[in-house]
A and B are shown apart, each in its own frame.
Chain A
Amino acid sequence: MSNPSKDLKVRYQQDLMLWRTPLLRVGLISLLTIYILSPIIWETFPVTKFFDDVGLTLTTLNYAGVFAVGAIGLNLLTGYTGQVSLGHSVFVGAGAYFTAYAGSTWDLPFIVWLPGSLLVGFLIGFIVGPLALRLRGNYLVVVTLGLVFLGDHIFRNWKSVTGGSTGVSVTGASLKIGPIDFRNLEIFGREFEKSQSFFWLIWGFVAIVALLVKNIVRTRPGRALQAVRDRDIAAEIIGVDLLHYKTMAFAISSSIAALAGALFGVLQSFISPIDFGLLVAIQYIAIIILGGMGTIHGSIIGAFVLGSLPRFVENISRDYDLPGVSGDQGGIGGMISISSLNHIIYGILIAAFLLLEPRGIAGIWMRVKTYFKTWPFSY
């Protein structure tokens, strides 16, 4: 402690590092390894094969990745800025329909339509954002709910672009960057299936978006957003421009949502208004509640859990006779269908988490960490 300021200088640097401890760095490297290896070994390696058998296939993981991207966007808006939005699915839909149109009708290359969809999302968010300046709490919830109806109406009626209620195909959108084509991926003469190449594509985007948003929230703009969430008027008096930050929160969140929509479109190959309704918007909210409001990794974990839950339930009911469920192993005689069971589990999960751990899975993780840090003292 002879030269405290010098010590502190080192601390500042350390404070700013994302992967601060050796343990975190090991975690990062293992995540990278998993990312690269998973698609290759998924159906053969014993552990992952077990996952595959219980419904956690690569395709399921790919959908979870899409949800993760969208959820990070919503978390920026709701978790960090405190603006509750029930209209997230509309922004997702805008990105998806843009991809369908730009990819097939205009025949744009990947590196053009992708930023294009980001831009479309950004612009829509930029228009909607200022509404949030004048509206608070419940009024904003209802207005964003109105967005879902407005979006649904446009998706169903702007037939030349969206194909109306039937929907539109997204297979025309190219996924080629230079020599790499994610639709027919071939590395060193080995061909990969769509689910494999899409895993790299989608989870790559999850990583990029997570990193960029993490950087935003730990620097000046992110602090400003959180200030708006905690005390908006005080924030304005110390110099945070509410109009700018609320608008930008909506714009960036919706542009990330549009990216998720674009990925969703190419993954599912066909989109219709049903994919962007109120249920989907609530699903996104469920993801960030379950994962943890105001955390980036929480959004990813939440998407992972809720994205794989339906497949998991499907599998379980295929193999076992569940009380009161029809269409399972036991066959007829149940009260509720499997999809109903899914919805009910959803509802119970949301309620349980809000009551028991409002900070979500990320909060549980924090608790476990604190517990081991202070072990053997429980306080």
Chain B
Amino acid sequence: MNSSTILDFSQVTLRFGGVTALEDVSFRVESGELFAIIGPNGAGKTSIFNCINGVYKPQTGSVLFEGRELIGERPVNVARQGVGRTFQNLGLFMNLDLIDNLLLGRHLQMKTGFFSGALWWGRAKTEELNNRQKIETIIDLLELQPYRYQPVGLLPYGIQKRVELGRALAMEPRILLLDEPVAGMNLEETEDMARYILEINNELGVSILLVEHDMAMVMDIADRVMALDFGQTIATGSPKDVQNNPRVIAAYLGEAS
């Protein structure tokens, strides 16, 4: 294995009953890379994330994160290793305000338990203050200042997507899994989001695994792209190569291949 490989997803097959969601899918994300997965609906993109996160257990294959096997781990332990994630249909805690949501992203970085939390004075208070300062930098980065004290359920959809990115970022992940971060957004919001993603990738040096529908955006920002159809890899390479690959065009335009 290449020493700069951060995530090695190799030969994973995932079946639900008779349905094969992923068939022998392999790819590698290099350290600091922005790797994108594209494909039509139902191609198995989100299933890949769920295999990495430990929500699904694939029948065969392995997922190595910095050399450690993730398959068989509980989702919590995957998060502990430094894997951050956003969700296609938003996984925000809608009744909590923005600050609480971001602080929840820092859950693993914090230590306060039930006992010290109940006593408050001392450790719990110091920790709250320190982490509040940390998330304030994320609020600045993602330009979320006006929304600090609002329950995120009341925020507009585009902002919610941004909050979720912020929460994943608060985990201080070494790899960030982004599940359709611009789905349902208008052009302006998409451009903003693309800017944030590039900033996170370039300035903070976080490797990013991106699943996306929006071809234009993927082609603009991704370093490498993998195309997926019916759970099978149909092309991997630079955005340009993948874009011109006849099988990818067929899958997207629905031609018989």
| Contact surface of A with B, Cβ cutoff 8 Å | 8-9, 12-13, 15-16, 212-213, 215-216, 219-224, 226-227, 229-231, 233-242, 248, 252, 294
Q: How far is the CB of A22 from chain B (nearest CB, A)?
A: 20
Determine whether the beta carbon of A238 is less than 8 Å from that of B167: yes
Interface string of B171-184 (1 = CB under 8 A from A): 10000000000000
Partner of A239, one of B93, B128, B129, B171: B171
* Residues on A with beta carbons closer than 8 Å to the beta carbon of B94: 230-231
B53 CB to nearest chain A CB (Å): 5
Contact yes or no, A16 B93, CB < 8 A:
no
| Contact A233 to B91, CB < 8 A, known contacts A220-B112, A239-B107, A248-B114 | yes
Known: A216-B118, A219-B120, A233-B91. 7 other contacts (CB 8 A): A220-B117, A223-B103, A223-B107, A230-B96, A236-B76, A238-B104, A240-B107
A residues in contact with B91, CB < 8 Å: 231, 233-234, 237-238
Taking a contact as CB atoms under 8 Å apart, the answer to whether B53 and A219 are in contact is no
**Nearest-CB residue, chain A, relative to B80:** A239
The residues in B between 55 and 101 inclusive whose CB is less than 8 angstroms from any CB of A are 55, 74-76, 78-80, 84-85, 87, 91-96, 99-100
Report yes or no: A221 in contact with B114, Cβ–Cβ below 8 A.
yes
Residues of B within 8 A of A248 (CB): 114
B132 at the interface (CB under 8 A from A): yes
Q: Is A226 within 8 A of B132, CB to CB?
A: no
> Is B168 among interface residues, defined by CB-CB distance under 8 A?
yes
Interface pair B117/A237, CB less than 8 Å apart? no
25 CB < 8 A contacts A-B: A13-B129, A16-B132, A212-B118, A213-B118, A215-B117, A215-B118, A215-B124, A216-B114, A220-B111, A220-B117, A223-B107, A227-B104, A230-B95, A231-B93, A231-B94, A233-B55, A234-B87, A235-B104, A238-B79, A238-B85, A238-B167, A239-B171, A240-B76, A248-B114, A294-B95
Q: In the assembled complex, how far is the CB of residue B241 from the closest CB belonging to chain A, in whole angstroms?
A: 32
Query: Cα distance A181–B114 when bound, in Å?
Result: 31
A12 B129 Cβ-Cβ under 8 A: yes
Complex contacts, B80 vs chain A, CB 8 Å: 239
Q: How far is the CB of B133 from chain A (nearest CB, A)?
A: 7
Q: Which of B104, B120, B171 contacts A223 (CB 8 A)?
A: B104
How many Å from the CB of B54 to the closest CB on chain A? 8
Q: Which residues of chain B are within 8 angstroms of A219 by Cβ–Cβ distance?
A: 112, 117, 120, 124, 127-128
- Sorted nearest first, the 4 A-B pairs with minimum C-beta distance are A234-B91, A239-B79, A219-B117, A230-B93
Q: Using Cβ atoms and an 8 Å threshold, which residues of chain A touch B44? A: none
Residues on the B chain within 8 Å of A238, using CB: 79, 84-85, 91, 104-105, 107-108, 167-168, 171
B195 at the interface (CB under 8 A from A): no
A221/B113 in contact, CB under 8 A: yes
**B171: nearest chain-A partner, CB-CB:** A238
Residues of B within 8 A of A (CB): 53, 55, 74-76, 78-80, 84-85, 87, 91-96, 99-100, 103-105, 107-108, 110-114, 117-120, 124-125, 127-129, 132-133, 136, 167-168, 171
Q: How far is the CB of B42 from chain A (nearest CB, A)?
A: 20
Q: Which residues of chain A are near B107, meaning CB under 8 Å?
A: 220, 223-224, 227, 238-240
Whether A12 and B104, one on each chain, are in contact in the complex, defined by CB atoms closer than 8 angstroms, is no
Nearest Cβ distance between residue A133 and chain B, in whole angstroms?
12
Once A223-B96, A230-B94 are accepted as A-B contacts, the answer to whether A236 and B75 lie under 8 Å apart by CB is: yes
Instruction: Give Cα distance in the complex from A236 to B79, angstroms.
Output: 8
Rounded to whole angstroms, the CA-CA distance of A231 and B110 in the bound complex is 20
Please give the distance in Å from A19's CB to the nearest CB on chain B: 13
Q: Least Cβ distance of A372 to chain B in Å?
A: 18
Across the two chains, which residue of chain A brings its CB closest to B133? A12
B43 CB to closest chain A CB (Å) equals: 21
The distance in angstroms between the C-alpha atoms of A233 and B84, with both chains bound, is 14
Contacts of A227 in B (CB 8 A): 93, 96, 104, 107
Inter-chain contacts of A212 with B (CB < 8 A)? 118-119
Most chain A CB inside 10 Å of its own CB: which residue of B114, B118, B120: B114
Which A-chain residue is minimally distant from B113 (CB atoms)?
A: A221
CA distance in complex: A8, B134 (Å): 12
Q: Which residue of A lies closest to B111 (CB)?
A: A220
Check A220 against B127 for contact (C-beta < 8 Å).
yes
Interface contact B92-A16, CB-CB below 8 Å: no
* Distance in angstroms between the alpha carbons of A241 and B114 in the assembled complex: 13
| Residues on the A chain within 8 Å of B168, using CB | 238
- Interfacial chain A residues near B117, Cβ < 8 Å: 215-216, 219-222
Question: Could you say which of A8, A12, A242 has the most chain B C-beta atoms within 10 Å of its C-beta?
Answer: A12
Most buried by A among B94, B105, B111, B120: B120
A8 to chain B, nearest CB (A): 7
